[in-house]
Amino acid sequence: MIETFADRDSLADAAADFIAGRLAAGGLFVATGGSTPGPVYDRLARRDLPWARIVVTLTDERRVDPDAEESNERLVRERLFVGPAAVARFLPLRDPQAAEALLGPHLPAAVTLMGMGPDGHVASLFPGGAELAEGLSGQGLVMPVAMSGQPPFVARITLTKRALLQTGLIVLAVTGDDKREVLERIAADPAYAPPAAAFLRLSEVPVRTLWAA
């Protein structure tokens, strides 16, 4: 089911509510990059949560300097790790082996925030990508992606489906009419199977799909 909101502020409010509810006792928060989650992080940073007991990592990361504009880590540090939330612990995605070793002990996550591209990609699992099969069916938690299917066209690191499904809740926050069409097609056409479909057609993990124009 697609939960529709009147505007992007309302979507950000709802996403922050769902995430904060899952983090009330602490735990792992798997965050994401892109344009939609920034306002969600602004709201979360103001919540009265046990930040010292919260660990944050990313669904995926671009292989750029952590201070680069394209860095998802930079987005999280600037928008979420503010005020009281600054005491939360961050697990970076820079080296796949190191990230896998750090991540494993913190799974399952309390909550995971995901976005979706207009091609139906989630995290750095891209349609037609050379690593897609491994990302959807492999046994690892973290893997490198040699080249992204969307700008910026740089190498990435991503959590796999196996890692992303180890969570209490997936919040999929999506904006734009083009992405709404992807969501509706996934729901209506079983033969249409972009990477996002592997998460939206789940029964074992609850998914809340939030959309605003």
CA distance 47 to 195: 32
Instruction: Look at the pTM and tell me if it is higher than 0.85.
Output: yes
Tens-place pLDDT, residues 151-209: 888 999 999 999 999 999 999 999 999 999 999 999 999 999 999 999 999 888 999 99
Average pLDDT of the chain is 96
pLDDT band at 141 (very low <50, low <70, confident <90, very high): very high
| CATH of span 2-209 | 3.40.50.1360
How many CB atoms sit inside 10 A of residue 83's CB?
A: 9
| pLDDT tens string 76-127 | 999 999 999 999 999 999 999 999 999 999 999 999 999 999 999 999 999 9
The span from the CA of 176 to the CA of 107, in Å, is: 32
User: Mind giving me the DSSP string for 100-144?
Assistant: HHHHGGGPSBSEEEE---TTS-BTTB-TT-TTHHHHHH-S-SEEE
Question: Among residues 212, 200, 203, 204, which one has the least CA distance to residue 1?
Answer: 200
C-alpha 176/C-alpha 6 separation (Å) is: 12
> What tokens appear for 136 in the block?
């959807």
DSSP 57: E
Higher pLDDT, 111 or 149: 111
Q: Are 196 and 186 in contact (CB under 8 A)?
A: yes
Q: What share of the chain is helix, strand, coil (3-state, %, to 5)?
A: 35, 20, 40
Would you call 85 helix, strand, or coil by DSSP?
helix
Mean pLDDT of all residues in 19-39: 97
CB 183 within 8 A of CB 2: yes
